[in-house]
Amino acid sequence: MNQLFSIENIDEVKPKINQEIENLRNLINKYDFEYYNNANSLVSDKEYDVIFRRLQDLEKENPEFASQDSPTQRVGGKALGEFNQIVHNKPMLSLGNTYSEEEVADFDRKIKEALEETPYQYVCELKYDGVSLSVKYENGAFLEAATRGDGFKGDDISANIKTVKTIPLKLQSEILPEDLTFEVRGEVFLNESDFIRINEQRVENNEKLYANPRNLTAGTIKLLDPKEVAKRQLNVAFYYLDSEKILKSTHFDNLQFIKDLGLPNSPYSKLCNNLEEVFEFINYWDKHRSELPFQIDGIVIKLNSIKQQEILGFVARSPRWAIAYKFEAEKAITKLNNITLQVGRTGVVTPVAELEPVQLAGTVISRATLHNYDFISEKDIRVGDYVEIEKGGEVIPKVVSVILDRRPEDSIKFEFPTYCPCELKSLLIRPEGEANYYCENPDCPSQLKRRIEHFASRNAMDIESLGEKNVEILINQGFIKSISDIYELKNHIDELIKIERFGQKSIVKLLAAIEESKKNPLWKLIFALGIRFIGEGASKILAKSFKNIDEIAKADKEKLISINEIGEKMAESIIRFFKDEKEQILLINLQKSELNFTSDSYSFHTKSLILQDIIFVLTGELNTITRDKAKELIESHGGKVSGSVSKKTNYLIAGENAGSKRTKALELGVRILSEQEFFEILKKD
């Protein structure tokens, strides 16, 4: 191998490498800002990927030039053990709410009286239905991010917020003063399209749906694994700036300065000269809010002058100079024409309301979920009823209530059908303790279609060109009767070309994607198999905990539940899947097709079950072992590690500087162990 650089010229080369790294970072930051803030693609995805990989390679080969504000560091590092606390420089206060124009007028009257007729202006902003956030920058670099918490201190969510691509890790603005430390506050939120995408995945995984984008956002920013946060595609809109060096005279100027710095903020804010203009803004967005890609639940009205804000000050935990006008949830009344059943890939049968089409929140609604039979029974929903539907905090329309005084006299109480709606008419069952009915016939065409779609989906085997329409055609034409038939399509090229939608180019593309899918890691295959209760996260855990598919198939319940985050229900589902003769045949056929059955991320085998069913919490600084190693050690002996102390906690392992968790353990009577005492327990094995 030729030596690229000699010792003599290395000092000349290193500065050039450092400069190239800086140039690439600046270029990627520029592309990211334009793409995520202005919806403007300056380069193709392929060009972007080439540049990004070049930067990754250079940073890996030259670790001395590593930087926390590099765009490559947005999603990196290990999962967090817990959140530290950050004390806010100024309290993060909440706003007083109002629900009528009369109350807004009363707010304006109090402003006028307090300012003694001095002229004033308002700034009206959209009230994003998200979660409050504080971010600090130091000398142009991202420093830390925190939740609102109790208003005085919040959780340090810096690692999670770094994954939000609209937030620059290093500011490029020419207007940035030197040695500037400042804070911006805003709202973290999810676009409705991303919320729907995530819920659709959960439906396929037979997981509980998230209620609305705000709840999902709140849960996302508190996840302990930044890599999982990155998948949710959060957004941020900043609306507040605080710095000793930047002394703007008005709030509207501060909003413009935030934008000039390259930070994301709302493009919809408006400067209003009087109350009439405020009401115009409120009424416009009350009518047009459904046109936005995200949810808002009202309008925020603020005094524009910073000096006048200071004059009015605060009352309790709210500013006197600002108020929130809250919109009512959007509702409509329509007729329920029918209740139909939808069969998912795991056999779960979901009732759907077929509605007389009605306009709601900017879209025509003709269907709404009815969740399950219990939901229908509790609200006594019947075919022929007039029902009220809404899209408040919910993206997916839901039936709120029945208009009983419009119920037909011949109305009949709805009974859940006995048989599956597919042509096989298989018996539906409802397992004890569950809300859902299931079709347990694996030959059910509806299930097969959904299973194939799931198997080929992006987060599973990622087989491009095998979408919903093509799957339906291939099933109807008899080419696919099982998942394993996907890998036999290469034997039917001449027949496939005769199908109307399948030209030679599309077939070549499809077969190439199928062949490429064989290289996927084991966790993707586990997820693609569609085992009930086993989503992406659980699939990754299984791939890390076992060497291959065979070991998972042989694992008993005791072995499975000894793995952190694999519960009894999941373990029973895994065992049931691998005992099923048809699934065994499927796995044999997939193995013959040379799919990857071996884990490349296997981390440990359970060494013993001495700690089985024992729940530990780790806190403080451990001296002889890292927290990650301690967690791995506990799990390898069958124990579980939780992030918080509760009545279910058996032991708290406390290192130096143990804080609130130690206090909580003392309050609940949880036994506290030192590192040495913990190791003594393991010696008993």
Place of tokens 């001449």: 494
d(CA 459, CA 74): 20
The Cα–Cα gap between 323 and 299 comes to 9
Number of other residues whose CB lies within 10 A of the CB of residue 158? 20
From 436, 435, 439, select the one nearest 427 (Cα to Cα).
439
Query: How far apart are alpha carbons 390 and 403 in whole angstroms?
Result: 14
| Closest C-alpha among 316, 361, 331, 186 to residue 263 | 186
DSSP 102-122: HHHHHHHHHHHHHTTT----E
**Reduced to 3 states, what is the DSSP secondary structure of residue 74?**
coil
Which H or E element spans position 301? strand 296-303
Angle CA(372)–CA(429)–CA(530) in degrees, nearest 5? 80
- Residues 12, 18 contacting (CB under 8 angstroms): no
Q: Residue 502, Cα to own-chain centre: how many angstroms? A: 36
Q: What is the C-alpha separation between 544 and 542, in angstroms, rounded?
A: 5
For the question of residue 413 being annotated catalytic, the response is no
Give per-residue burial for 322-346: e unless 16+ CB within 10 Å, then b: bbbbebeebebebbbeebebebbbb
Is 653 within 8 Å of 679 (Cβ atoms)? Answer: no
DSSP result, 482-523: SGGGGGGGGGGHHHHHTSTT--HHHHHHHHHHHHHGGGS-HH
* 102 C-beta neighbours (distance < 10 Å), count: 9
Secondary structure (DSSP) of 196-253: HHHHHHHHHTT-PPPS-HHHHHHHHTT-S-HHHHHHT--EEEEEEEE-SS---SBHHH
d(C-alpha 29, C-alpha 170), whole Å: 8
Catalytic residue among 46, 60, 78, 127: 127
Residues in the chain: 685
Element (H, E) at 284: helix 275-288
Q: How many helices and strands (H and E) does the chain possess?
A: 24, 24
Intra-chain end-to-end CA distance of the chain, in Å? 51
Beta bridge pairs of residue 298? 326
Q: Which residues are catalytic?
A: 127
